[in-house]
Each structure stands twice: as structure tokens, then as C-alpha cells.
Amino acid sequence: MTDKYAVIGNPIAHSKSPLIHRMFAEQTGQDISYEKIEAPLDGFATMVERLRSEGYKGCNVTVPFKFEAFKMCVMQTGRAREARAANTLLFRDSEIWGDNTDGAGLITDIEQNLGFKLMFKDALLMGAGGAAHGVVWPLFNAGAGIVIANRTVEKAQHIAAEFEGAGTVFARSYEELAGKRFDLVINATSSSLADALPPLPDGLFKPGALAYDMMYGRETPFMKFAREQGAALVADGLGMLVEQAAESFYKWRDVRPDTRPILEKLRQS
């Protein structure tokens, strides 16, 4: 019998998750179906309950429902609790269990796929929403010093406050970035969706720096800016998407897919 899964978001039409999970299933011999579902902005919980009642085994959660998903869970992994957001739900009997695989996906892509080691690196994380929340603890645990920049600096301060006393995580306004340089700059804002660029100063990238945009599928204004500013390595978020999906798949099926051929296939297409 085919086990059913889905990804829920709004908007969701652009999602590559069904394709990725279909490729995982083919590679590992798992009998699953996986679809994308757009939930009304006020209808996420209702949609989750509908899927549970229809016998689904779990679902992925994307923008803007990750915080709401976390609150629905009776059991949460440590990384979901750190992020206070869930992107992977497991339906166990009458309970919802939650995990957050975003950070693991990012770290695997940066360190293994791109070969960029994070220990002792200075990282700039742009944004203070769900995407930033999901990766700040994994970046910290990987040994990076982190500056969080956001248009509303209070939101960045709210995240940085979780690391009070560590001395390696700070909140800054974009204006305060002038004169500072980083080994790694991550765009976790929604600016690329609007074809916009965060208000970044020149001279941001250290020699050998990596510029990483969580958006995928095209050259974003941030990626273009990074190339012009001399970033040594520029990457989009497709690798993160595939790696976090593999982590979700492993959570559901207890089988870990080989992501490299999947990523190569997606890049070619």
C-alpha cells in the first residue's frame, strides 16, 4: 500500500519537493506518493487535520506555516525547539511529531557539497524570519561567529538574545555593516522572491568568501551583487532544498537517499 505525504505552503506552485521525493523513492525502492498542497493563510491547521484523517503519514511545511506547525506538535526534536519552527511533521497514531531539517540541510550543503568549512568563520545571516530561525543554531553549533542583520533590527535582536553570553552572535542593522567583512554571507530574506537586494554596503566579502542565497532556480540580485563584489564562491539554495528533503525522507522512511545524483539531475534540468 502506498504511503501518502505532501508539502503544504502558500504559495506552493513553484515547489520542487514532489519531484525530489519521487526521485528519492525511486532510488531507495520506497512505495510513497507526495503532492503539493496550497493551504489558505488561515487554514493550515485544518489542512493538517484533513491529511491526518485521510491517512497521510506526514508532511513537509514551507512558508509561511513553519511557526504554526511547530505549535501543533506534541513532540518536537531539539532542532525544532531551537528554531521554534517545524518543516517536517510525522503523524504517529493520534499525535503530531515535529522536526526542523532546514539547518541540517544548509550545513550539509555548505560543508559537504560546497566544501566550505564553517568552524571559526565569520558569517552574516540576513533576515530574521522562519528561514533564519531555522539555521542560526546549526550555524552556531558548526562553530561560526554570526551577525544577524534585518531591516527591523529588533527582530534580529530577539534571535541574538537566545545566545546571550556566548559572545559570538550579534544583531545589527544594515547600516551598521559598513566596514565589516565576512567569510560567509547568507541571504535568508524574501528579497530574492521580489527580485530585490537587501541594502548591503560594498566591501562585504573577505578573500575566499562564500555568498549563499536560499532562493534557488535562477541568478538572484544578491548572487549578482556577490559576483560583482568578488565573492570567491556563489551558490543558490537548491543544495539546501535537496539535503533538507533527504533529512525529512530519512525521518519518515528510515532510509537515507544519496543526494549527489539527485542534485546533479536537478541542476541539469
Q: What does the alpha-carbon distance between residue 129 and residue 131 come to, in Å, rounded to a whole number?
A: 6
Q: What does the alpha-carbon distance between residue 18 and residue 31 come to, in Å, rounded to a whole number?
A: 14
Q: What is the DSSP letter of 91?
A: E
Radius of gyration of the chain (CA): 18
Q: Which residues are catalytic?
A: 66
Residue whose grid cell is 521525493: 21
Cβ(131)–Cβ(148) under 8 Å? no
Backbone angles phi, psi at 72, to 5 degrees: -80, -15
Sort strands 75-76 and 95-99 into parallel, antiparallel or unpaired: parallel
Q: Give the other-Cβ count within 10 Å of 44's Cβ.
A: 20
Please confirm whether the linkage preceding 64 is cis (ω < 30° from 0): yes
Cβ(242)–Cβ(20) under 8 Å? yes
